[in-house]
Structures are given as structure tokens and as C-alpha cells.
Amino acid sequence: MTTTPDTPTTALPGRPPVVDPATWQAARDELLIREKAYTREGDALAAARRRLPMVEFDGTVEVVGPDGPVPFLDLFEGRDELVVYKHMWHDGAPHQGQCEGCTTAAWHLRDAVYLNARGVSFAILTTGRWEEVAPFVEFMGYTQPWYSVRGVEGPAGGDMGFLTCYLRDGDRTFLTYSTTGRGVERVNASMGLLDMTPYGRGEAWEDNPEGWPAGDNACWTWRSDAEGNFTWGETSRPVPQWTRPGATPVDTLGRRGHCH
């Protein structure tokens, strides 16, 4: 049985005001108007995205995967559309020294069955040498197709940290869309859920009410120590790595981790 406190307007420090259900519903309905407008604007942006021009490039350029060099065209797996995430790579760094931001994105894109059902393939590209990338992929337990684009220029390779879309027409390949920075957030379901909670992401840049917990630097939860304390120290790892067999504290990252 649900009960209502006798004094529903009692303030709780650092928390939303306490109100009766009718007052809450009125505030929720008011916000819903803005949320629907946000959704419609997102639909309009997607429509504009579909109207972007595209750039043709050489789909026969070779990338390296578990079976050796293959043409970029193979990444489409016979489908007409392809989405890739371009994972940053630090040469020579151990697993825990790889990019925590890219780990976040890749971890949220572990299965492409719903993309495949719509005729879209998915792959992760990186500039790392395949002999370094392969053990990292195995350690992380990734099941997505990974390929090294080391030395590949243009739309098939280029800068990392991007979410990029391609279209195929027979043997012709085209770049249709690419985004980076916060544009990559759409693959991170955790961020979307955190944005729905009272305290949000817990980051310093957020617009919070007076008295809310102080935020930290952006992406402060992307690395932690073995006890789960968020840190950028020498023995930290990208958070998902602690679920992997053999993930133990270490003496060095190989290089300092950075938030991208």
C-alpha cells in the first residue's frame, strides 16, 4: 500500500521538492510538451541527415582483420549500409592504457542484430597494429568485427573517435555521415538513462539546482581502481575491464589515460 506523508512539501536538502501526486503530474505534463518538441526536432535532424550529399571512395582499399587483409567492401557483409565506430589506439600501451572513452562507446555496441535486421552492418575500426588489437579484443570479450585501418587515409580510415556511416551501391562505396565528440553519445545508453535521473551524470558542466551534489570532470566514471573508486591513477582501468577475467591492478598504464 502506498502512503502519502502528512506534510508533502517538506524540503529534503539536495533533493527535488516533495509534492503531492497531482502537483507532480502537472509538472511532468509541462515537461512532456518540451520533450515531444525535442523528439520532433530530432526527427527533423534525422531527415536532414538523410538528405546530406555523399563522398565516393575506393572500397577496394585493404584493412586488416582476423583473417588478414580484406577490402573495405567486405565490412558491409553483403548489406547496403554500414556503421562503424573508429576506436582510438595508443601504440604499445597495455589493455588498461587504451582509450577509456572509446571503450565506453564500444562496450555499448556489443551486438548488431537489430542493425543487421534493417540491412545495416557494424564494425569497429582502429589504427592499432592488428597484432596488438587482436589480444585486446579477446581480453575485452568483444564480439563485433574489428579491423585495423593503420595507414589507411580518407573516408575508410582517417581520424579516430568518430561514428561514421557508409552506403554501398554494388562495388561502389560512399561516405554519408560522420560525427565525433558528444555526437557519439547516441550509442551510449547509460548516458541517456543518467540524463533521466535526479542527479544526472554527476558532471561539473551540468545545470543543476542549488544544493545538488558537486559534479566532477566530464567522464569521471570511465576509469576506476580495483575497488571501484573512480580514478585516473596508474593502476586504474576503463570500468568495463574489471569484469574481464585476469583484470588485476597493475603498476603502469603504459601512458596516462585521457578523457576524449
Other CB atoms closer than 10 Å to residue 257's CB: what's the count? 25
Task: Give mean pLDDT, residues 19-30.
Answer: 97
pLDDT in tens, 58-67: 999 999 999 9
Q: What's the number of domains the chain is made of? A: 1
57 occurs within a structural domain: yes
Could you tell me the pLDDT band of residue 255, with boundaries at 50, 70 and 90?
low
pLDDT of 12 above 50: yes
Percentage of the chain modeled with pLDDT above 70: 93
User: Domain of 152?
Assistant: 52-181
pLDDT in tens, 128-177: 999 999 999 999 999 999 999 999 999 999 999 999 999 999 999 999 99
208 occurs within a structural domain: no
CATH of the domain at 78: 3.40.30.10
143 occurs within a structural domain: yes
Cα 207 from Cα 199, distance rounded (Å): 10
pLDDT of 1 above 90: no
Task: Give mean pLDDT, residues 44-50.
Answer: 97
186 occurs within a structural domain: no
Could you tell me the pLDDT band of residue 220, with boundaries at 50, 70 and 90?
confident
